[in-house]
Amino acid sequence: MKHLITLKDITTDEFHDILKLTEKLKYENKNGITHHLLKGKTLGMIFAKSSTRTRISFEVGMYQLGGHALFLNTNDIQLGRGESIYDTANVLSRFIDGIMIRTFDQKDVEDLAKYGQIPVINGLTDLTHPCQALTDMFTIYEEKGKLEGLKLCYVGDGNNMTHSLLFACAHAGMDMSVATPKGFECDPQIVEDALAMAKKSGSKLVFTNDPQEAAAGADAVYTDTWVSMGQEREKAEKVKKFDGFQVNKELMAHAAPDAIFLHCLPAYRGYEVSADVIDSPCSKVFDEAENRLHTQKAVMAMLMGQQN
Protein backbone atom coordinates (compact mmCIF):
# COMPACT_ATOMS: atom_id res chain seq x y z
CA MET A 1 0.00 0.00 0.00
CA LYS A 2 1.68 3.19 -1.22
CA HIS A 3 -1.18 5.67 -0.74
CA LEU A 4 -4.73 5.88 0.59
CA ILE A 5 -6.65 7.55 -2.23
CA THR A 6 -9.84 5.47 -2.19
CA LEU A 7 -10.75 2.17 -0.54
CA LYS A 8 -11.22 0.71 -4.00
CA ASP A 9 -7.47 1.00 -4.55
CA ILE A 10 -6.38 -1.11 -1.58
CA THR A 11 -6.62 -4.88 -1.27
CA THR A 12 -8.98 -6.65 1.11
CA ASP A 13 -5.95 -7.91 3.03
CA GLU A 14 -4.71 -4.33 3.43
CA PHE A 15 -8.19 -3.29 4.57
CA HIS A 16 -8.15 -5.90 7.34
CA ASP A 17 -4.52 -5.10 8.21
CA ILE A 18 -5.51 -1.49 8.85
CA LEU A 19 -8.30 -2.56 11.20
CA LYS A 20 -6.01 -4.99 13.05
CA LEU A 21 -3.35 -2.33 13.53
CA THR A 22 -6.03 0.14 14.64
CA GLU A 23 -7.12 -2.27 17.36
CA LYS A 24 -3.51 -2.75 18.50
CA LEU A 25 -2.70 0.96 18.58
CA LYS A 26 -5.91 1.82 20.43
CA TYR A 27 -5.20 -0.84 23.05
CA GLU A 28 -1.67 0.46 23.52
CA ASN A 29 -2.87 4.04 23.74
CA LYS A 30 -5.45 3.18 26.40
CA ASN A 31 -2.84 1.25 28.41
CA GLY A 32 -0.09 3.85 28.35
CA ILE A 33 2.14 2.00 25.90
CA THR A 34 4.07 4.37 23.65
CA HIS A 35 4.35 3.51 19.98
CA HIS A 36 6.75 5.94 18.29
CA LEU A 37 6.54 4.20 14.94
CA LEU A 38 7.05 7.47 13.07
CA LYS A 39 9.79 9.03 15.18
CA GLY A 40 11.44 11.83 13.24
CA LYS A 41 8.81 11.75 10.47
CA THR A 42 6.74 14.77 9.33
CA LEU A 43 3.25 14.78 7.85
CA GLY A 44 2.19 17.78 5.79
CA MET A 45 -1.55 18.43 6.19
CA ILE A 46 -3.08 20.43 3.32
CA PHE A 47 -6.52 21.89 4.08
CA ALA A 48 -8.59 23.39 1.29
CA LYS A 49 -11.61 22.40 3.43
CA SER A 50 -11.48 23.10 7.16
CA SER A 51 -12.35 20.41 9.73
CA THR A 52 -12.32 19.97 13.49
CA ARG A 53 -11.93 16.20 13.60
CA THR A 54 -9.56 15.77 10.67
CA ARG A 55 -6.98 18.30 11.80
CA ILE A 56 -6.98 17.32 15.47
CA SER A 57 -6.98 13.57 14.89
CA PHE A 58 -4.10 13.66 12.39
CA GLU A 59 -2.10 16.15 14.43
CA VAL A 60 -2.51 14.26 17.71
CA GLY A 61 -1.99 10.97 15.90
CA MET A 62 1.37 12.06 14.53
CA TYR A 63 2.40 13.29 17.98
CA GLN A 64 1.49 9.93 19.56
CA LEU A 65 3.44 8.12 16.83
CA GLY A 66 6.50 10.21 17.69
CA GLY A 67 6.35 12.39 14.58
CA HIS A 68 5.33 15.92 13.69
CA ALA A 69 2.32 17.30 11.80
CA LEU A 70 2.59 20.50 9.76
CA PHE A 71 -0.69 22.36 9.14
CA LEU A 72 -0.93 23.97 5.70
CA ASN A 73 -4.01 25.82 4.50
CA THR A 74 -4.38 27.19 1.00
CA ASN A 75 -3.13 30.60 2.16
CA ASP A 76 0.16 29.04 3.32
CA ILE A 77 1.14 27.28 0.10
CA GLN A 78 1.13 28.05 -3.62
CA LEU A 79 -1.11 25.10 -4.54
CA GLY A 80 -4.06 26.48 -6.47
CA ARG A 81 -2.48 29.94 -6.72
CA GLY A 82 -0.28 29.47 -9.74
CA GLU A 83 2.05 26.59 -8.84
CA SER A 84 1.19 23.29 -10.48
CA ILE A 85 0.41 20.20 -8.45
CA TYR A 86 3.36 18.57 -10.22
CA ASP A 87 5.77 21.15 -8.78
CA THR A 88 4.09 21.17 -5.36
CA ALA A 89 4.24 17.38 -5.08
CA ASN A 90 7.91 17.29 -6.01
CA VAL A 91 8.89 20.12 -3.66
CA LEU A 92 7.00 18.66 -0.69
CA SER A 93 8.57 15.27 -1.36
CA ARG A 94 11.97 16.84 -0.62
CA PHE A 95 10.85 18.23 2.76
CA ILE A 96 8.38 15.86 4.40
CA ASP A 97 7.55 12.17 4.68
CA GLY A 98 3.83 12.11 3.86
CA ILE A 99 0.91 14.28 2.79
CA MET A 100 -2.66 14.33 4.03
CA ILE A 101 -4.94 16.50 1.90
CA ARG A 102 -8.54 17.52 2.55
CA THR A 103 -9.91 19.18 -0.55
CA PHE A 104 -12.73 19.38 -3.07
CA ASP A 105 -11.48 17.65 -6.22
CA GLN A 106 -10.52 13.96 -6.15
CA LYS A 107 -8.07 14.59 -8.98
CA ASP A 108 -5.95 16.84 -6.73
CA VAL A 109 -5.32 13.88 -4.43
CA GLU A 110 -4.62 11.56 -7.35
CA ASP A 111 -2.18 14.01 -8.93
CA LEU A 112 -0.27 14.56 -5.68
CA ALA A 113 0.20 10.79 -5.45
CA LYS A 114 1.09 10.52 -9.15
CA TYR A 115 3.75 13.21 -9.19
CA GLY A 116 5.20 13.02 -5.67
CA GLN A 117 7.54 10.47 -4.15
CA ILE A 118 5.90 10.20 -0.71
CA PRO A 119 2.66 8.62 0.57
CA VAL A 120 -0.54 10.62 0.09
CA ILE A 121 -3.63 10.21 2.30
CA ASN A 122 -7.06 11.37 1.18
CA GLY A 123 -8.48 13.25 4.19
CA LEU A 124 -11.69 13.96 2.23
CA THR A 125 -12.78 14.99 -1.24
CA ASP A 126 -16.21 15.63 -2.72
CA LEU A 127 -16.11 12.08 -4.12
CA THR A 128 -14.70 9.92 -1.30
CA HIS A 129 -13.81 9.87 2.41
CA PRO A 130 -11.78 6.69 2.99
CA CYS A 131 -10.40 7.50 6.47
CA GLN A 132 -13.89 7.98 7.86
CA ALA A 133 -15.20 4.76 6.32
CA LEU A 134 -12.31 2.78 7.81
CA THR A 135 -13.15 4.35 11.17
CA ASP A 136 -16.79 3.38 10.79
CA MET A 137 -15.90 -0.22 10.03
CA PHE A 138 -13.65 -0.38 13.09
CA THR A 139 -16.41 1.12 15.27
CA ILE A 140 -18.91 -1.47 14.05
CA TYR A 141 -16.35 -4.22 14.67
CA GLU A 142 -15.81 -2.96 18.23
CA GLU A 143 -19.54 -3.02 18.92
CA LYS A 144 -20.48 -6.23 17.11
CA GLY A 145 -17.28 -8.30 17.24
CA LYS A 146 -17.38 -8.93 13.50
CA LEU A 147 -18.18 -7.33 10.15
CA GLU A 148 -18.85 -10.17 7.74
CA GLY A 149 -22.52 -11.01 7.45
CA LEU A 150 -23.76 -7.82 9.11
CA LYS A 151 -25.94 -5.20 7.43
CA LEU A 152 -25.28 -1.46 7.30
CA CYS A 153 -28.08 0.90 6.30
CA TYR A 154 -27.25 4.36 4.97
CA VAL A 155 -30.00 6.99 4.73
CA GLY A 156 -29.47 10.36 3.07
CA ASP A 157 -27.40 11.89 0.31
CA GLY A 158 -25.45 9.65 -2.05
CA ASN A 159 -22.26 11.52 -1.26
CA ASN A 160 -18.56 10.94 -0.56
CA MET A 161 -19.38 9.16 2.69
CA THR A 162 -21.78 6.76 1.00
CA HIS A 163 -19.25 6.01 -1.73
CA SER A 164 -16.50 5.06 0.70
CA LEU A 165 -18.84 2.98 2.86
CA LEU A 166 -19.82 0.98 -0.24
CA PHE A 167 -16.18 0.08 -0.87
CA ALA A 168 -15.61 -0.65 2.83
CA CYS A 169 -18.59 -2.99 3.07
CA ALA A 170 -17.49 -4.79 -0.08
CA HIS A 171 -14.05 -5.40 1.47
CA ALA A 172 -15.64 -6.55 4.73
CA GLY A 173 -18.16 -8.95 3.22
CA MET A 174 -20.84 -6.81 4.82
CA ASP A 175 -24.24 -6.06 3.27
CA MET A 176 -25.23 -2.44 2.72
CA SER A 177 -28.52 -0.83 1.81
CA VAL A 178 -28.59 2.78 0.61
CA ALA A 179 -31.73 4.92 0.69
CA THR A 180 -31.49 8.26 -1.09
CA PRO A 181 -34.11 10.71 -2.37
CA LYS A 182 -34.63 10.61 -6.13
CA GLY A 183 -31.99 12.71 -7.80
CA PHE A 184 -29.47 12.24 -5.00
CA GLU A 185 -28.27 8.72 -5.79
CA CYS A 186 -24.64 7.65 -5.65
CA ASP A 187 -22.18 8.24 -8.48
CA PRO A 188 -22.86 5.56 -11.15
CA GLN A 189 -19.17 4.68 -11.60
CA ILE A 190 -18.73 4.24 -7.84
CA VAL A 191 -21.77 1.96 -7.76
CA GLU A 192 -20.42 -0.10 -10.66
CA ASP A 193 -17.02 -0.49 -9.00
CA ALA A 194 -18.50 -1.33 -5.59
CA LEU A 195 -20.83 -3.95 -7.06
CA ALA A 196 -17.87 -5.61 -8.79
CA MET A 197 -15.98 -5.72 -5.48
CA ALA A 198 -19.06 -7.01 -3.62
CA LYS A 199 -19.48 -9.83 -6.11
CA LYS A 200 -16.06 -11.15 -5.11
CA SER A 201 -16.62 -10.84 -1.35
CA GLY A 202 -20.23 -12.00 -1.29
CA SER A 203 -21.64 -8.83 0.21
CA LYS A 204 -25.02 -7.57 -1.02
CA LEU A 205 -25.41 -3.91 -2.00
CA VAL A 206 -28.96 -2.61 -2.41
CA PHE A 207 -30.07 0.84 -3.61
CA THR A 208 -33.55 2.24 -2.98
CA ASN A 209 -35.52 5.44 -2.42
CA ASP A 210 -37.34 3.94 0.59
CA PRO A 211 -35.63 4.48 3.98
CA GLN A 212 -37.81 1.92 5.77
CA GLU A 213 -36.94 -0.75 3.22
CA ALA A 214 -33.25 0.05 3.63
CA ALA A 215 -33.37 -0.02 7.43
CA ALA A 216 -35.12 -3.38 7.69
CA GLY A 217 -33.04 -5.67 9.91
CA ALA A 218 -29.95 -3.43 9.79
CA ASP A 219 -27.25 -3.89 12.43
CA ALA A 220 -26.10 -0.29 12.03
CA VAL A 221 -27.91 2.77 10.69
CA TYR A 222 -25.82 5.61 9.27
CA THR A 223 -26.54 9.11 8.07
CA ASP A 224 -24.64 12.26 7.19
CA THR A 225 -25.46 15.94 6.88
CA TRP A 226 -27.79 16.77 4.01
CA VAL A 227 -25.81 19.92 3.20
CA SER A 228 -22.09 19.31 2.78
CA MET A 229 -19.47 22.05 2.96
CA GLY A 230 -19.80 24.29 -0.09
CA GLN A 231 -23.52 23.49 -0.57
CA GLU A 232 -24.92 26.04 1.90
CA ARG A 233 -26.93 27.84 -0.79
CA GLU A 234 -28.79 24.61 -1.50
CA LYS A 235 -29.90 24.07 2.12
CA ALA A 236 -33.56 25.17 1.88
CA GLU A 237 -34.15 23.17 -1.29
CA LYS A 238 -32.39 20.05 -0.01
CA VAL A 239 -34.31 20.10 3.27
CA LYS A 240 -37.55 19.94 1.27
CA LYS A 241 -36.34 17.12 -0.95
CA PHE A 242 -35.01 15.10 2.00
CA ASP A 243 -38.34 15.14 3.83
CA GLY A 244 -38.96 11.61 5.11
CA PHE A 245 -35.25 10.71 5.19
CA GLN A 246 -34.56 11.66 8.79
CA VAL A 247 -33.17 8.91 11.03
CA ASN A 248 -35.53 8.94 14.00
CA LYS A 249 -37.03 6.44 16.44
CA GLU A 250 -39.66 5.40 13.91
CA LEU A 251 -37.00 4.52 11.34
CA MET A 252 -34.74 2.82 13.90
CA ALA A 253 -37.66 0.57 14.85
CA HIS A 254 -37.26 -1.13 11.44
CA ALA A 255 -33.63 -2.01 12.19
CA ALA A 256 -32.44 -4.87 14.39
CA PRO A 257 -33.29 -4.47 18.11
CA ASP A 258 -29.61 -4.00 18.99
CA ALA A 259 -28.82 -1.74 16.02
CA ILE A 260 -26.37 1.09 16.57
CA PHE A 261 -26.49 4.59 15.08
CA LEU A 262 -23.50 6.18 13.36
CA HIS A 263 -22.81 9.66 11.97
CA CYS A 264 -19.47 11.06 10.78
CA LEU A 265 -20.28 14.48 12.34
CA PRO A 266 -20.93 17.37 12.43
CA ALA A 267 -24.58 16.46 12.96
CA TYR A 268 -27.62 18.72 12.76
CA ARG A 269 -30.32 17.55 15.12
CA GLY A 270 -33.78 17.95 13.69
CA TYR A 271 -32.58 17.55 10.13
CA GLU A 272 -30.85 14.28 9.14
CA VAL A 273 -31.21 12.82 12.65
CA SER A 274 -33.54 13.39 15.58
CA ALA A 275 -32.12 14.26 18.99
CA ASP A 276 -33.75 11.21 20.57
CA VAL A 277 -31.62 8.96 18.32
CA ILE A 278 -28.24 10.68 18.29
CA ASP A 279 -28.38 11.27 22.05
CA SER A 280 -29.67 7.78 22.86
CA PRO A 281 -27.71 4.74 24.13
CA CYS A 282 -27.72 3.22 20.62
CA SER A 283 -25.70 6.15 19.30
CA LYS A 284 -21.96 5.51 18.98
CA VAL A 285 -21.05 8.78 17.29
CA PHE A 286 -18.50 9.87 19.90
CA ASP A 287 -16.79 6.46 19.98
CA GLU A 288 -16.74 6.76 16.20
CA ALA A 289 -15.19 10.25 16.40
CA GLU A 290 -12.50 9.02 18.79
CA ASN A 291 -11.69 6.12 16.52
CA ARG A 292 -10.64 8.53 13.76
CA LEU A 293 -7.48 9.04 15.83
CA HIS A 294 -6.61 5.36 16.08
CA THR A 295 -7.58 4.40 12.52
CA GLN A 296 -5.63 7.23 10.95
CA LYS A 297 -2.61 6.36 13.10
CA ALA A 298 -2.75 2.87 11.63
CA VAL A 299 -2.93 4.28 8.10
CA MET A 300 0.01 6.63 8.71
CA ALA A 301 2.10 3.89 10.34
CA MET A 302 1.51 1.52 7.44
CA LEU A 303 2.30 4.14 4.81
CA MET A 304 5.08 6.15 6.44
CA GLY A 305 6.98 3.75 8.64
CA GLN A 306 7.51 0.25 9.96
CA GLN A 307 5.16 -1.18 12.58
CA ASN A 308 5.86 -4.12 14.88
Quick check: is 102 catalytic? yes
Q: Are 42 and 99 in contact (CB under 8 A)?
A: no
Catalytic residue among 55, 108, 131, 132: 132
Quick check: is 254 catalytic? no
Catalytic residue among 64, 264, 294, 296: 264
Catalytic residue among 129, 163, 171, 294: 129
Catalytic residue among 55, 102, 163, 263: 102
Instruction: Report the 10 Å Cβ neighbour count for 162.
Output: 29
Catalytic residue among 224, 246, 263, 296: 224
Specify burial of residue 209 (Cβ count, 10 A radius: 0-12, 13-18, 19+). middle
Rounded to 5 degrees, φ, ψ at 233 are -65, -20
Nearest to 61 by CA among 298, 303, 306: 298
Cα-Cα-Cα-Cα dihedral sign, residues 249, 255, 256, 259? negative
Distances (CA, A) of 296 to 129, 131, 188, 237, 293: 12, 7, 28, 35, 6
Quick check: is 269 catalytic? no
Quick check: is 68 catalytic? no
Quick check: is 129 catalytic? yes
Rounded to 5 degrees, φ, ψ at 2 are -95, -30
Bridge-based pairing of strands 175-179 and 68-73 is unpaired
Catalytic residue among 153, 292, 294, 296: 292
Quick check: is 307 catalytic? no
DSSP β-bridge partners for residue 120: 99
**What residues are labeled active site?**
102, 129, 132, 224, 264, 292
